[in-house]
Amino acid sequence: MWLLGAGLALIPLCYGVRCLFTGHAYFFGSRAHLDLVGPAAVALAIAYIAVGVFIHAHYFWGLHPKLLPFSNILKTLAALVFIGSFFYTLFKIIA
């Protein structure tokens, strides 16, 4: 619960917060990485934070008896934020 729910969740969450402060975010790919700046970087940083929140909600809240009823709500919200910010990032990259 603590290892995955807190430790693993902190990796994308801290990276997303770092990207918000620096204004740069990397869009990781299998062959190359894309360095983003501006609104696309902010949206991708929010997507990374949403991934961290989703992992935390699944592995920490989902395994805690008192927080379990709220786990699905937080996972749904995190997934919606991720989808919106990820597709906004793709839109900013293409446009």
- Block means of pLDDT (10 residues each) for the chain, 95 residues, are 91 96 91 91 97 96 91 97 97 91
Look up the pTM and report it: 0.92
User: In whole angstroms, what is the distance from residue 92 CA to residue 31 CA?
Assistant: 21
CB 27 within 8 A of CB 42: no
What Rg, from alpha-carbon coordinates, does the chain have? 14
SS3 26: strand
Looking at residue 32, what is its pLDDT?
84
Looking at residue 30, what is its pLDDT?
83
CB 94 within 8 A of CB 56: no
Of 80, 78, 79, 60, which is closest to residue 68 (Cα–Cα)? 60
